[in-house]
Amino acid sequence: MKKFDMTKDAGKISELHAGEFVLLSGTVYTARDCAHKRLHALLAEKKPLPFEPEGAAIYYAGPCPAPEGKACGSCGPTTAARVDVFTPELLDAGVKFMVGKGERSDEVARAAVKNGCVYFAAVGGAGALYGNAVKKCELVAFPDLLSEAIYRFEIEDFPVFVAIDAHGGNIYKR
């Protein structure tokens, strides 16, 4: 089974190819619809983002509350397409990895190639499995958004598919 660590293997992005099944590890920042709107506003005002975008990974997800003894509650991917309009500028700002579910717009696919980024498709609905693979969870920004706030996760062996690779490969285009 191929493994990929977004923090340690950042130099190996070009070795990822659409259709590959990988176990993904490393640091990700959660962000859904509302958080993206706010990131967009910060970029527009040329203000710093609540996390360093260079080399960062964004996970389109909003977790359930953590039960006792766990870092995180159930937390599968949400539909990535809803934030497509905000994605190219984030990739231009340095974000390298995206994890979510479902197709992306052509603009996102083009921005991924331009910036050498990868979009991983996690399995929608598998919330317990992914939540269980979150080993650390820390609130980073926008606590008023509750489950839609930005959290920093340390994830371990997320089963995901390389959906859009840095070479223009795309599993949704057949």
Residue (56 or 163) nearer to another protein, CB: 163
Residue 132: what are its φ and ψ, rounded to 5°?
-70, -25
Residue with the two structure tokens 């509650």? 73
Residue (13 or 75) nearer to another protein, CB: 75
| Nearest approach, Cβ of residue 50 and another protein (Å) | 20
Torsion of CA 156, 158, 167, 15, to 10 degrees: 50
Of 86, 93, 95, 85, the C-alpha closest to 118 is 95
Residue (21 or 110) nearer to another protein, CB: 21
* Bridge partners for 155 per DSSP: 26, 134
| Nearest approach, Cβ of residue 67 and another protein (Å) | 5
In this structure, is the dihedral angle defined by the CA atoms of residues 49, 155, 139 and 73, taken in order, positive or negative?
positive
Residue (10 or 66) nearer to another protein, CB: 66
| Nearest approach, Cβ of residue 60 and another protein (Å) | 12
**What is the C-alpha to C-alpha distance for residues 133 and 157, in angstroms, rounded to an integer?**
7
Residue (3 or 114) nearer to another protein, CB: 3
| Nearest approach, Cβ of residue 42 and another protein (Å) | 20
For another protein, the binding residues (CB under 8 A) are: 19, 21, 34, 61-67, 70, 73-76, 78-79, 81, 101-103, 121, 123-129, 131-132, 146-147, 159, 161, 171-172, 174
| Secondary structure E strands in 49-131 | 57-59, 97-100, 118-122
| Nearest approach, Cβ of residue 98 and another protein (Å) | 16
Q: Which two tokens stand for residue 113?
A: 């190639």
